[in-house]
């Protein structure tokens, strides 16, 4: 039995190591947030490292977009590929010479071995094991090659990988920060490939070497990496290195609580949430509570408050539901905390064709009525175009067409004569004509906005302008007379 002691260091160093194979997942941002909080609370360092060893899946521009979206969420790092640091380089493809040094050490000590098996043989082996209902794993065929056979294959330049030697019938025990004592039998662990045939290390090898050399004390990662931990711990033992503390975070569940968060239920990329108009501070606050709690009823935290309150003891063992209604609740709250001046630029970003005067009118009217900033696009569509709708929509409440025409005609006369204090004047018009208030505003709302679900239509008219307001009423009258 082997048991590795967890590190106890006063200098906390955490890292986030995204792969530039696409966009940063929202779950990755949560992991980063916890890494960041632990380091900052303990006056330690948070490191950003790029793990680009999966060369086949690299996406052009992905690394730059990942760095930028992290910054756009208001987070930063103490060491990383763009700013350097004492343990660089911080991109794995720039560290290949380092990995070659350490893989040679493992091979020389007998803790790793060359594997010359072709992909065809490996596929056949896996198929045979699967048919026999056995656990698919490498059969250590090349582990038993003699030194002469190995050298002959190397001289012949036969492609090879380098595999980790897994001891037989041992128990690996470690204490996970979240899950407590974890045990693995090495008979269930495969001889992991450490160096691929192209000379590039796999995640398992590169991550361990980098975490050690960069003096990482705590590793946060998803629970899907739990079964890989024995391989990593063996590497730490073979190198006689002290292992970091591991925390395997729960997965984020779909809003219905069924299955891992997936695209079929909406956005999963961190960038998309910003593009949809969720505020960075609202997203971070929401993510803080998806796997951690403060031990109190408090639910609103600034980033600084979160750092002050963060504790490893309050990380969750149960997978949280990615409740989008809760996210909307947080975002609405943070939107309402902003002043009209702060909201001006945010509104402008989502309504680029609106004039400054229009934005100034819309901010106080709509700030209480939107959940996310992208809602502004649909809410204000009527300001910039004539929305198509059928005559029946004007008569939604069963209004007689002649009555609807009378309502719109008299409203047009009122607006044409005076465009100020319209709310009071329209209410007076309704009263003088003994119209039903709800019925009138249904007709008027549809005439102006082309929809029954609208922002406060009268308050928005100054942003529409007198001329366009009259034009929309004329369009509605025409629809009713056809």
Q: Which residue has the higher pLDDT, 265 or 258?
A: 258
The CATH fold of domain 391-481? Arc Repressor Mutant, subunit A (1.10.10)
Examine the pLDDT at 1 and tell me if it is beyond 80: no
40 is catalytic: no
Mean pLDDT of 150-165: 97
From the candidates 181, 263, 318, 325, which is the catalytic residue? Answer: 263
What is the pLDDT at residue 10? Answer: 65
99 Cβ neighbours under 8 A, 6+ residues apart: 195, 201, 205, 206, 209
Cis, peptide link before residue 89, omega less than 30° from 0: yes
Structure tokens belonging to residue 30: 């949560």
Examine the pLDDT at 402 and tell me if it is beyond 70: yes
Q: Which residue has the higher pLDDT, 26 or 8?
A: 26
pLDDT single digits (tens) 198-227: 999 999 999 999 999 999 999 999 999 999
What is the pLDDT at residue 229? Answer: 97
pLDDT single digits (tens) 124-133: 999 999 999 9
Examine the pLDDT at 29 and tell me if it is beyond 70: yes
Mean pLDDT of 442-464: 94
Examine the pLDDT at 261 and tell me if it is beyond 50: yes
Mean pLDDT of 157-177: 96
Pick from 199, 270, 237: nearest CA to 16: 270
Least confident range from 25-34, 62-71, 390-399: namely 390-399
Q: pTM for the whole thing? A: 0.91
- CA-CA distance, 95 to 191, in Å (whole number)? 24
| Mean pLDDT for the chain overall | 94
Sequence ranges of the domains in the chain: 2-85+203-249, 96-170+184-195, 340-379, 391-481
In what order do the strands lie in the sheet containing 112-115? 112-115, 161-164, 193-195
pLDDT single digits (tens) 39-56: 999 999 999 999 999 989
Model confidence at 3, pLDDT cuts 50, 70, 90, reads: very low
Examine the pLDDT at 9 and tell me if it is beyond 70: no
Phi, psi of 234 (to 5 degrees): -65, -40
Mean pLDDT of 56-64: 95
Structure tokens belonging to residue 394: 């004007």
Mean pLDDT of 380-400: 93
Do 324 and 290 form a contact (C-beta atoms < 8 A)?
A: no
Examine the pLDDT at 258 and tell me if it is beyond 90: no
Q: What angle do CA 257, 21, 61 make, to 5 degrees?
A: 125
Residues 2-85+203-249: name the CATH superfamily: HUPs (3.40.50.620)
What is the pLDDT at residue 5? Answer: 42
Pick from 174, 197, 172: nearest CA to 185: 172
Structure tokens belonging to residue 244: 């970091």
Mean pLDDT of 465-473: 96
- CA-CA distance, 379 to 201, in Å (whole number)? 52
Please check whether the domain covering 96-170+184-195 is classified as CATH 2.40.160.40.
Answer: no
Phi, psi of 255 (to 5 degrees): -55, -30
């Amino acid at each position: 039995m082997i048991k590795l002691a967890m590190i106890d260091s006063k200098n906390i160093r955490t890292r986030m190591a995204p792969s530039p194979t696409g966009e940063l997942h929202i779950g990755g941002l949560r992991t980063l947030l916890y890494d960041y909080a632990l380091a900052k609370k303990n006056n330690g360092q948070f490191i950003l490292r790029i793990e680009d060893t999966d060369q086949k899946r690299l996406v052009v521009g992905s690394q730059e977009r990942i760095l930028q979206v992290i910054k756009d969420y208001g987070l930063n790092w103490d060491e990383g590929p763009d700013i350097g640091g004492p343990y660089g380089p911080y991109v794995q493809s720039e560290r290949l010479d380092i990995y070659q040094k350490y893989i040679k050490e493992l091979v020389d000590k007998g803790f790793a071995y060359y594997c010359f098996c072709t992909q065809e043989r490996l596929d056949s082996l896996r198929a045979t094991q699967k048919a026999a209902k056995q656990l698919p794993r490498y059969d250590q065929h090349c582990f038993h090659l003699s030194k002469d056979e190995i050298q002959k294959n190397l001289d012949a330049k036969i492609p090879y990988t380098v595999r980790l030697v897994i001891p037989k019938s041992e128990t690996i025990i470690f204490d996970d920060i979240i899950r407590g004592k974890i045990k693995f039998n090495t008979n269930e662990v495969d001889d992991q490939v450490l160096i691929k045939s192209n000379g590039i290390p796999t995640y398992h090898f590169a991550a361990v070497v980098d975490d050690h050399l960069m003096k990482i004390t705590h590793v946060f990662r998803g629970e899907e990496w739990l079964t890989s931990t024995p391989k990593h711990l063996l590497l730490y033992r073979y190198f006689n290195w002290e292992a970091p503390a591991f925390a395997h975070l729960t997965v984020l569940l779909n809003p219905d609580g069924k299955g891992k968060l997936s695209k079929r239920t909406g956005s999963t990329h961190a960038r998309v949430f910003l593009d949809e108009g969720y505020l960075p501070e609202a997203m971070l606050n929401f993510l803080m509570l998806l796997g951690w709690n403060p031990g109190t009823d408090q639910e609103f935290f600034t980033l600084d408050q979160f750092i002050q309150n963060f504790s490893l003891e309050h990380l969750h063992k149960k997978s949280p539901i990615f409740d989008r209604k809760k996210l909307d609740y947080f975002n609405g709250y943070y939107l309402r905390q902003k002043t009209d001046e702060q909201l001006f630029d945010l509104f402008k970003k989502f309504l680029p064709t609106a004039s400054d005067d229009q934005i100034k009118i819309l901010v106080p009217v709509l700030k209480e009525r939107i959940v996310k900033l992208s809602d502004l696009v649909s809410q204000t569509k009527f300001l910039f175009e004539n929305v198509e709708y059928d005559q029946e929509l004007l008569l939604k409440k069963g209004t007689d067409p002649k009555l609807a025409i009378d309502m719109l005609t008299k409203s047009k006369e009122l607006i044409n004569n005076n465009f100020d204090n319209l709310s009071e004047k329209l209410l007076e018009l309704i009263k003088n004509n003994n119209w039903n208030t709800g019925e009138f505003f249904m007709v008027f709302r549809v005439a102006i906005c082309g929809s029954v679900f609208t922002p406060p239509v009268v308050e928005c008219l100054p942003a529409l302008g007198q001329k366009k307001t009259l034009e929309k009423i004329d369009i509605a009258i025409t629809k009713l007379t056809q």
